[in-house]
Amino acid sequence: MISWSSIPWILQIPHLVCAFGDSECYFRVKDFRRDGNVMIGAFFPLYYYYTANKIPHKILPNHFEDFYLQYKFKNYQFVLALVFAIEEINRNHHLLPNTSLGFDLYNIPFSEKNTLMNAFIWLTGINDFKANYNCKKEQKLAAALTGTSFAVSAHMGTLFQLYKMPQLTFGPFNTILSDRTQFTSLYQMSPSDISLPRGIVSLMLHFKWSWVGLIFTDDHRGMQILSDMKQEMKKNKVCVAFVEMISGTWDSFSHKFWKSLGKIQDSSANVIIIFGDTDSLQGVMKNIGQKLTTWKVWVMNSQWDVTNHIDYFMLDSFHGSLTFSHHYEEIVEFENFIQTVQPSKYPEDTYLPKLWHLFFKCPFSHSDCKLENCQPNASLDLLPKQNFDTAMSEESYYIYNAVYTVAHSLHTMILKQIQIQQHKNGAEIVFLPWQLHPLLQNKYMNNHVGSHMEMDMKSKLDSKYDIINFWNFPKGIGLKVKVGSFSPNAPHDQQLSLTNHLIQWPTRFTEIPTSVCTNLCQPGFRRTVKEGQDLCCFDCTSCPDNEISNETDMDHCVKCPGSHYANTEKNHCLEKAVTFLNFEDPLGMALSSTALCLSAITATVLGIFVKHRDTPIVKANNRALSYILLITLIICFLSSLFFIGQPNTVTCILQQMTFAILFTMALSTVLAKALTVVIAFKVTFPGRLMRWLIISRATNYIIPIFTLLQIILCGIWLGTSPPFVDQDTHAQHGHIIILCNKGSAIAFHCVLGYLCSLALGSYTMAFLSRNLPDKFNEAKFLTFSMLVFFSVWVTFLPVYHSTKGKFMVAVEVFSILASSAALLGFIFAPKCYIILLKPDKNMFHGIRDNTHYRRNDFN
């Protein structure tokens, strides 16, 4: 087996790449060591080696001549967090007194074989290790720190659990690693991502992004989060534009996945969610940066940290990206500690000289791996943040907590052993690593900054997330800015908190980007989903009549209340104007003027008849009935005014009752007049009945009898369902019409039917007597008047039911005026013509005396 200490390396600037050379200071099996009574093994990804031309080695099989080494200098913060935590604990006299912590630092190579090899070296203490052999006699191993990927922690976990060695991993939480049946010695320091899909979807809803792409790692963790993400998106009506699964290796990713780069670039989704760990995302970061894909908004989990993994010339592709990072406490002392870090302070550290040589241009001695003529004031905090960030990262925070977790567990175990041994003969405290497991399995452990780390992996407490926005400045100077947070345990409407004005978007966008399959429906329209497509791909349909949508992208239109109506744009409900058949309206003014004029004309006719009451034409047709009919018509004309003006309960009742009773009296009077004519001409024929009718004046009882029947019918109407004030909100757009509701439609039509029956009876009697010989016979006039009256009210019904609003009232008023005017015109106009213009015809000529005198008896 080849000894790794025999492989030298040479650093090539500025590509962070080393090649084989004559010095062995660039690669050692153990990269950094700090002695202590109790040792922690740290396995961090600090560099990896690869071959470009793949020239086979002349002697060694499966090896190549042209090896290159690439450093991950930004991961060097892991080392500083480890050193900082151990030095802080060793200075604390209340924690682990008389016991010092130390560590052995090993790099995690890219290959799984070398990863396990370094773990064997640490466990056994020999480079050319053999299974079940251990050369460590004095050093006490306490625990191992591993990360950052699931694969590394899982491979090393299978080995460490054979030795019952506690393993604390600072990589992203994985449900497989929390399975105590598979990994009995492994403890995850990072919280679960169970609420991450809910947080990301909340961000989508906040910015109304409904059409997003998904790029997830093709492993158990990626599939689980993808399933939760899709479920959460479906529940909130956020659609998936595409899904791309990436493999966990950089090479396979860059060859296979980016064949579909055009699909991602051509997608209408402006927002892409990326989820994975550091190792699996290296390839996608490189490709996105090299393609300068600057027109997408990347929403990522905390392991996708552009400032920690991308060279400065690629940063513009991620300007405006949003990262969900687990919230953790800030440790100000860590930044102060970094300012004091110097190669001279830690001469055993092989990485610091490389950093100083690369960034501060210090001459480097390859013979003894030392720097020469360096600036005394050089410090890591002077480096740009895109090269080295002095603020503690999320992974460094978990490393810090892991060290304190081990220290607290050791402290508790030592105290228990001291109580048992009670300092017998100064016996030395002896422990084995497996004795820490009961203490590590306690649900909560306190760290130095007072926060609580969850050690029971069966419990899944949701963690708060900080939302970080990445800003890119000229020359690749990147800055991470906290713009919000997501708290899963807060009330639903308070979980997401964002400061929108702080967010910088990709250079393509001048305002908040949109990411939709179809442009949002504007107010006044609603979404109509296309058949066979996603819910997010839809058509915009105008809202139906009297319905509005006052927000963008609404699924349903909202119906305006009865007191409001939709404007022409259908985005607001406007209050309707209250209206009715008013006296001031042209229509109301015309009808009321007509009613007053007709009533005045009727009163004039009545005056004429009273003045000429002794003339034959007045006396020939029963003066009393003529007076009653004229007075009734005057009131009928005036009763139409009840229909005009703002209705109330009294006027609504008076409208129908006066109309029904007055018209019954008028028609009864016409019937009595027609019957009188018939009786008058039948009296020449002997008959007991005719004589009784003449003597008893029975025709005068027609009016009260038929009127009483109508009054009874109206009483039933009022007792069952009387008229009342109502509102018509649909007849006229934008108006609420106040009108009188008939109450019982059956009673109203019964009243009309009763009136039409009286009119038909009067018409029949008048028609039978139309040819009787008498120049003063008014039977023909009564026939015409009843014919017109009957026609008016028969026509009224269909016209009335075909109109709405105040025009219904106008139709009824017009019918009242027209039918009343027909009675006035056809019955009394000819008589007034003779009285006023043809007085010579207003006398008897050639009529038998007995007939004349008997007719005068009716007057």
One DSSP character per residue, 171-187 reads S---TTTT-TTT-TTEE
- Of 30, 40, 136, nearest in space to 90 by CA: 40
pLDDT one-digit tens code per residue, 780-793: 777 777 788 778 87
Over residues 587-603, mean pLDDT: 91
pLDDT one-digit tens code per residue, 406-431: 999 999 888 887 777 654 555 566 77
Find out whether 392 and 400 touch, Cβ atoms under 8 Å: yes
Residue 484 in this model has a pLDDT that exceeds 90 = yes
What does the pLDDT read at residue 766?
72
41: confidence class by pLDDT, cuts 50, 70, 90: very high
Residue 102 in this model has a pLDDT that exceeds 80 = yes
Would you state the structure tokens that stand for residue 31, as one six-digit string? 């990269």
Residue 319 in this model has a pLDDT that exceeds 50 = yes
For 586-723+749-857, CATH gives 1.20.1070
Residue 437 in this model has a pLDDT that exceeds 80 = yes
Cα–Cα distance measured from residue 49 to residue 47, given in angstroms and rounded to the nearest whole number = 7
Over residues 214-220, mean pLDDT: 84
Over residues 206-214, mean pLDDT: 90
Cα–Cα distance measured from residue 478 to residue 470, given in angstroms and rounded to the nearest whole number = 7
For 29-45+72-192+331-452, CATH gives 3.40.50.2300
What does the pLDDT read at residue 613?
83
C-alpha count within 13 angstroms, C-beta hemisphere, residue 805: 15
640: confidence class by pLDDT, cuts 50, 70, 90: confident
Mean pLDDT (the chain, rounded):
78
Cα–Cα distance measured from residue 822 to residue 793, given in angstroms and rounded to the nearest whole number = 12
4: confidence class by pLDDT, cuts 50, 70, 90: very low
Cα–Cα distance measured from residue 411 to residue 431, given in angstroms and rounded to the nearest whole number = 12
Least confident of 346-360, 533-547, 554-568, 755-769: 755-769
90: confidence class by pLDDT, cuts 50, 70, 90: very high
What does the pLDDT read at residue 407?
92
pLDDT one-digit tens code per residue, 674-730: 777 676 665 555 555 555 555 555 566 788 888 898 889 888 988 888 888 888 777
> Domain coordinates of the chain in residue numbers?
29-45+72-192+331-452, 196-327+463-502, 525-577, 586-723+749-857
Residue 806 in this model has a pLDDT that exceeds 60 = yes
Residue 224 in this model has a pLDDT that exceeds 70 = yes
Q: What sign does the dihedral 485-486-489-495 (CA atoms) show?
A: positive
Distances, alpha carbon 789 to alpha carbons 218, 313, 650, 822, 850, in Å? 90, 98, 28, 7, 35
What does the pLDDT read at residue 22?
35
Q: What sign does the dihedral 329-333-337-340 (CA atoms) show?
A: positive
Find out whether 371 and 364 touch, Cβ atoms under 8 Å: yes
Q: Which one of 354-363, 590-599, 807-816 scores highest in mean pLDDT?
A: 590-599
Cα–Cα distance measured from residue 785 to residue 790, given in angstroms and rounded to the nearest whole number = 8
Residue with tokens 């269909």: 798
Over residues 327-349, mean pLDDT: 87
Peptide bond into 438 cis (omega under 30): no
Over residues 43-62, mean pLDDT: 70
Least confident of 64-73, 614-623, 665-674: 64-73
Comparing 29-45+72-192+331-452 with 196-327+463-502, is the CATH topology the same?
A: yes
803: confidence class by pLDDT, cuts 50, 70, 90: confident
Cα–Cα distance measured from residue 355 to residue 357, given in angstroms and rounded to the nearest whole number = 5
Q: What percent of the chain is predicted at pLDDT more than 90?
A: 15
Taking the CA atoms of residue 70, residue 71, residue 72 and residue 75 in that order, the dihedral angle to the nearest 10 degrees is 150
Q: What percent of the chain is predicted at pLDDT more than 70?
A: 75
What does the pLDDT read at residue 455?
47
108: confidence class by pLDDT, cuts 50, 70, 90: confident
The CATH superfamily holding the domain 196-327+463-502 is Response regulator (3.40.50.2300)
Write the DSSP string, 577-634: EEE---TTSHHHHHHHHHHHHHHHHHHHHHHHHHHTTTSHHHHTT-HHHHHHHHHHHH
Write the DSSP string, 65-85: S-EEEEE-GGGHHHHHHHHHH
pLDDT one-digit tens code per residue, 505-519: 988 788 889 888 888
Find out whether 786 and 629 touch, Cβ atoms under 8 Å: no
Facing residues of 445 across strands?
A: 453
pLDDT one-digit tens code per residue, 167-183: 999 988 888 888 888 89
What does the pLDDT read at residue 763?
78
Torsion region of 60: left, alpha or beta (phi above 0 gives left; psi -120 to 50 gives alpha): beta
Find out whether 183 and 454 touch, Cβ atoms under 8 Å: no
Least confident of 199-213, 390-404, 579-593, 783-797: 783-797
CATH domain 525-577 topology: Tumor Necrosis Factor Receptor, subunit A; domain 2 (2.10.50)
465: confidence class by pLDDT, cuts 50, 70, 90: very high
Cα–Cα distance measured from residue 361 to residue 379, given in angstroms and rounded to the nearest whole number = 13
